[in-house]
Structure formats: C-alpha cells, structure tokens
C-alpha cells in the first residue's frame, strides 16, 4: 500500500473524528484485500464499524452519567422466582412508551424482592433507547437539595434532577422525611410532572406515605402527580438475597465428609439442588 495514501487516509479519518475507522484502517484493508468485497460493501463495513463503536461509547458515557448502583439487565431477572410480577407488564415497559409519554413507574415491595434490579434494568433499556437517566436514593436526593436550598441554590440544583428524561428515586420510605425534605420532594415531583419519567422504589405501600412524608396533605399531593400517568408494580414475595443466603447456609452447614454417610443430609442436599434448578 502506498505510504503517502495511507498517511493521508489516517489524517482525514482523524480530522473527521472517525476514530475507530482510523484505528482499524490497516486491518479493514487487509480483510478487504482477502475477501474482495464490492466497493459499496467495503464502505458499508467501514462505516458500520465506526457507527457501532460510537453507539457503544455513547452507551458507556450515558451509563456512567446515570450513576447506577450496579449494571443488571432485565434479561438477568428471574421472573419465575417472583411470580407476583406480571412479566407482560415489564415487557410493555420495555417498549419505553412510558418514557415517551413522561409516565412514571412505581415499584413497591419489601427488601430484596428486586425493585432496584427492575428499575436499573429499565434504565439500561432507556439508555440503549437514547434517553438520559440519573439514579439517586431518596435520602441522598433530599439531602443534596436541602443543602442547595440552605445555600440559596435550590433552583439551580433542581435542574440536575429535572434535566434527565428518566430519574430513578430509590428507597423512598426507608427513612422518614422532615417537613423541608417533604416539600423539596413535592417540588421535584411537580417540576417533572408530565415532562419526564420517574422510576421510584419504595418498601412502603401508598397508605403509609403520609407517615413517610410526615404529612397526609403533602403525601396526597405527591401521589396525585406521581400516579396520574403511571404503572405500579407491587411485588409480594421472598427476598432474593435471603434465598441466596439460605442456599449458601444449607451447603455450608453440611461438612463434606458426612454428606454421603448420612441419608438425612442427602435429602437436604437433594432439596437444595431441587431449589437451585427451580
Ligand atoms: P430491592 O427490592 O431491595 O431493591 P434488589 O433489586 O436490589 O432488591 O435485589 C437484591 C439482589 O437480588 C440484587 O442483587 C438483585 O440483582 C437480586 N435479585 C432480586 N430479585 C431477583 C430475581 N428475581 N432474579 C435475579 N436476581 C434478583
Ligand atoms: Mg433496593
């Protein structure tokens, strides 16, 4: 290959910020020399390589900016373990229509049943679908906005939480809010109302929200806006964490040497492995 042409190609790709094509130029040309694709197919290959790289990079940046606690997908969720969840409802949410309509999703249930996992899974779909997202716990949110209010910067800081198309507010209700916290929360829900989606998780049912916000009226006002365009997913069931601990406990409790000797313990093991494949 003519060095002069290669240098000019690299220069042009760099100037046009076709980063990946620039990096892979030699190997793309080598492949083409071997496989002799049609001109149009070769061009398609180069541009597709660049496009896929960019999409992956945008995904990475958006995921980082979303500050998710962990990166779990809905495909990793075991729906058989949690039959109180209607999988069709989750499939509908996966279409991301609720985001286009600025609707909300509220996941209710006791600890460990998968509320945060589903919220994170939905957000990862949203990011893939081109939406910006931000994850924060209710406690951190209220602390952060409370601090901004004391410094006279509430409006400015509020934008951080109104800008992303999807905001996840995790763990509403684990800690009760003081009156200022409740007012700030109300302001945020109002500011996002019909403009962006909130995915909220809570261990408290709606009837307990008066106690969470320390005031029935403000709780009702928050719920009124939150529930207007919304899907509630009520998860009733066992904690997945507990199940994993229980299973670990079963295996750990049996000393390896005595496993075969004791028929009683064998039954326990069979039960355990039956549970594992359930
Ligand atoms: P919480 O309801 O308290 O928010 P999480 O969603 O954080 O619970 O779930 C606790 C842990 O158990 C997480 O690691 C999550 O990925 C996992 N988990 C919960 N439910 C399931 C499930 N049905 N299938 C797979 N993993 C699950
Ligand atoms: Mg959680």
The pTM of the full predicted model, rounded to 2 decimals, is 0.80
Q: Looking at ligand 1, which residue's alpha carbon is closest to its atom 21?
A: 114
pLDDT at 250: 61
Give yes or no for residue 257 having a pLDDT over 80: no
Mean pLDDT of 76-83: 95
Q: Which residues surround ligand 2, an ion (CB under 5 A)?
A: 116
Mean pLDDT of 194-202: 97
Confidence band of 276 (pLDDT split at 50, 70, 90): very low
What would the two tokens of residue 190 be? Answer: 């109002």
CA 220 to CA 180: how far, in whole Å?
16
Distance from residue 54's CA to the centre of ligand 2 (Å): 32
Q: Is the CB of 174 under 6 A from ligand 1?
A: no
Taking only the tens place, the pLDDT of each residue in 208-235 is 999 999 999 999 999 999 999 999 999 9
Distance from residue 201's CA to the centre of ligand 2 (Å): 7
Query: Which of 114, 123, 135 has the most ligand 1 atoms within 8 A of CB, as the residue to mutate?
Result: 114
Lowest average pLDDT, out of 52-56, 127-131, 183-187, 247-251, goes to: 247-251
Ligand whose nearest atom lies closest to the CA of 237: 1
Q: Is the CB of 115 under 6 A from ligand 1?
A: yes
Task: Write down how long the chain is.
Answer: 278
Closest CA to 114 of 80, 67, 140: 80
Query: φ and ψ at 185, to 5 degrees?
Result: -60, -45
């Amino acid at each position: 290959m003519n060095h002069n042409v290669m240098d000019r190609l690299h220069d042009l790709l760099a100037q046009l910020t076709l980063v990946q094509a620039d990096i892979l130029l030699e190997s793309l040309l080598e492949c083409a020399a071997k496989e002799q694709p049609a001109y149009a197919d070769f061009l398609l290959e180069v541009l597709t390589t660049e496009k896929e790289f960019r999409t992956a990079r945008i995904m990475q940046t958006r995921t980082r900016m979303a500050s998710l606690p962990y990166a779990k997908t809905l495909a990793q969720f075991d729906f058989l373990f949690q039959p109180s969840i209607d999988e069709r409802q989750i499939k509908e949410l996966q279409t991301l229509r609720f985001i286009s309509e600025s609707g909300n999703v509220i996941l209710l249930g006791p600890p460990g049943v998968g509320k945060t996992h589903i919220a994170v899974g939905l957000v990862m779909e949203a990011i893939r679908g081109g939406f910006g997202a931000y994850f924060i716990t209710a406690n951190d949110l209220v602390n952060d906005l409370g601090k901004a209010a004391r410094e006279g910067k509430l409006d400015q800081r509020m934008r951080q939480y109104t800008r992303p198309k999807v905001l996840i507010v995790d763990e509403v209700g684990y800690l009760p809010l003081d009156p200022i916290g409740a007012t700030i929360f109300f302001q945020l829900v109002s500011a996002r109302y019909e403009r962006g989606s909130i995915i909220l998780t809570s261990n408290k049912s709606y009837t307990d929200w008066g106690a969470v916000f320390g005031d029935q009226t403000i709780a009702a006002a928050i719920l009124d806006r939150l529930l207007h365009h919304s899907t509630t997913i009520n998860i009733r069931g066992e904690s997945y964490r507990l199940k994993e601990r229980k299973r670990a406990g079963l295996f750990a409790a049996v000393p390896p040497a005595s496993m075969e000797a004791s028929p009683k313990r064998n039954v326990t093991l069979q039960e355990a492995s039956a549970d594992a494949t359930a």
